[in-house]
C-alpha cells in the first residue's frame, strides 16, 4: 500500500510539473505575441527599465567591486608561486566574462527586481486589477506583463557588462596598488585575452538567456499566485528559488555548448 501511495505521489508531482511547464510556455508565447507597442507605450517600458535596471545598479556595482578584488587577491596568491602574476588580468577578465559576471548578475537581479515583479503582478491579480483592465478592453499582457518582460531582457545584459567592467577595475586596484603588479602588464593581459566573439558575445548571450528564464519564472509565479497573503509570499519564494536554479542549470548547458569543444 505504501508503494502504491508513493507511486501515486510521484505521478501526481510529475503531472503537476508538466502542467506548470505547459502554463509557463503558454505564458511566454502569449507575452511574445502581445509585445507592447513601443511608440505608444515607450514611457511604460522606460519606467520598468528604470525600476528593474537602474535601481539594481547599486547592488551590482558594489558586488562587482568586491568580487573583482577577491578574485585578484586569491589569483595573485596562486599565480605568484609559478611566477605568472602577469597573467592575473587574464584570469580576472575571463572569469568575469565567461562565468561570474552573467551568473552573479542574474542571481542578484532575480533577488532584487524579479521578486518585486512577482509581488506586483500577484497583488494585481489578487485585487482583480488585471480583470478590470480586461473589462475596459485593455490587454493586461500587453499593458502590464509584457513591458516588465522586455525591460528585464534589456536591463540584464547591460547590467552584466557593467558588472564585468567594474569587477575588472576592482581587480586592478588590488593587483596594482596592493600586490604590486605592473599596471601596464595587467591591462595588456586583459586586452590580449578577451575575444570579442567567444567572450563578450557569449557573455551577452548568457545574460540574455538568464534574464529570459529568471523573468519568466517571476511572471509565471506572480500571474498564477493564490490571492492570499500566504499565496503571494509562497509565489515570491518559488520565483526566486526556481529562477536561481534555472539560471544555474542554464549556465551549465550554455557553457558546455560554448566552450565544450
39: pLDDT confidence band, cut at 50, 70 and 90? low
**Residue 20, in any domain of the structure:** no
Quick check: 118 and 236 in contact, CB under 8 A?
A: yes
In a domain, 234, yes or no: yes
Confidence of residue 40 (pLDDT cuts 50, 70, 90): low
Q: Give residue 135's pLDDT.
A: 77
Q: In this structure, is residue 22 part of a structural domain?
A: no
C-beta of residue 176 within 8 angstroms of C-beta of residue 85: no
44 within domain boundaries: yes
Find the mean pLDDT for residues 215-242.
Answer: 88
Range of the domain at 242: 39-260
Residues 6+ apart with CB under 8 A from 116: 51, 52
The rounded mean pLDDT for the chain is 86
Query: What pLDDT, in 10s, does the model give residues 53-100?
Result: 899 999 999 999 999 999 999 998 888 888 877 888 899 999 999 999
Cβ atoms 150, 28 nearer than 8 A: no
Q: Is residue 10 part of a domain?
A: no
| pLDDT of amino acid 2 | 59
The set of cell numbers assigned to 206 is: 548568457
Is residue 20's pLDDT more than 90? no
C-alpha–C-alpha distance, residues 158 and 76, integer Å: 29
d(CA 58, CA 166): 12
What integer pLDDT is reported at residue 57 of this predicted model? 93
Neighbours of 136 (CB within 10 A): 8
Burial pattern 216-240, b for ≥16 Cβ within 10 A else e, equals bbbbbbbbbbeeeeebbeebbebbb
Structural domain contains residue 220: yes
Question: Is the residue at 14 inside a domain?
Answer: no
For residue 125, the model assigns a pLDDT of 82
Instruction: Quote the pTM value.
Output: 0.89
Average pLDDT over residues 48-55: 89
Mean pLDDT of 238-258: 92
Residue 36 has pLDDT above 70, yes or no: no
Distance between CA atoms of 22 and 15, rounded to whole angstroms?
11
Question: Is the residue at 1 inside a domain?
Answer: no
Number of compact structural domains in the chain: 1
Kindly report, residue by residue over 127-185, the tens digit of the pLDDT.
Answer: 877 778 777 877 777 788 888 898 999 999 999 999 999 999 999 999 988 888 888 88
Amino acid at each position: 500500500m505504501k508503494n502504491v501511495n508513493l507511486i501515486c505521489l510521484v505521478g501526481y508531482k510529475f503531472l503537476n510539473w508538466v502542467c506548470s511547464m505547459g502554463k509557463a510556455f503558454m505564458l511566454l508565447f502569449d507575452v511574445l505575441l502581445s509585445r507592447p507597442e513601443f511608440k505608444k507605450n515607450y514611457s511604460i517600458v522606460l519606467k520598468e527599465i528604470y525600476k528593474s535596471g537602474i535601481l539594481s545598479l547599486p547592488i551590482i556595482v558594489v558586488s562587482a567591486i568586491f568580487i573583482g578584488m577577491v578574485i585578484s587577491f586569491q589569483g595573485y596568491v596562486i599565480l605568484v608561486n609559478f611566477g605568472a602574476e602577469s597573467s592575473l588580468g587574464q584570469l580576472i577578465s575571463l572569469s568575469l566574462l565567461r562565468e561570474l559576471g552573467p551568473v552573479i548578475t542574474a542571481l542578484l537581479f532575480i533577488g532584487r527586481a524579479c521578486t518585486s515583479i512577482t509581488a506586483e503582478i500577484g497583488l494585481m491579480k489578487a485585487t482583480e486589477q488585471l480583470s478590470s483592465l480586461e473589462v475596459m478592453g485593455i490587454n493586461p499582457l500587453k499593458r502590464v506583463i509584457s513591458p516588465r518582460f522586455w525591460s528585464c531582457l534589456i536591463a540584464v545584459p547591460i547590467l552584466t557588462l557593467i558588472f564585468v567592467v567594474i569587477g575588472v577595475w576592482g581587480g586592478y586596484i588590488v593587483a596594482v596598488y596592493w600586490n604590486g603588479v605592473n599596471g601596464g602588464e595587467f591591462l595588456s593581459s586583459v586586452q590580449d585575452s578577451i575575444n570579442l566573439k567567444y567572450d563578450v558575445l557569449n557573455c551577452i548571450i548568457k545574460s540574455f538567456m538568464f534574464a529570459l528564464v529568471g523573468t519568466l519564472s517571476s511572471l509565471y509565479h506572480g500571474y498564477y499566485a493564490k490571492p492570499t497573503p500566504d499565496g503571494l509570499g509562497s509565489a515570491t519564494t518559488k520565483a526566486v528559488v526556481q529562477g536561481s536554479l534555472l539560471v544555474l542549470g542554464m549556465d551549465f548547458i550554455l557553457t558546455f555548448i560554448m566552450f565544450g569543444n
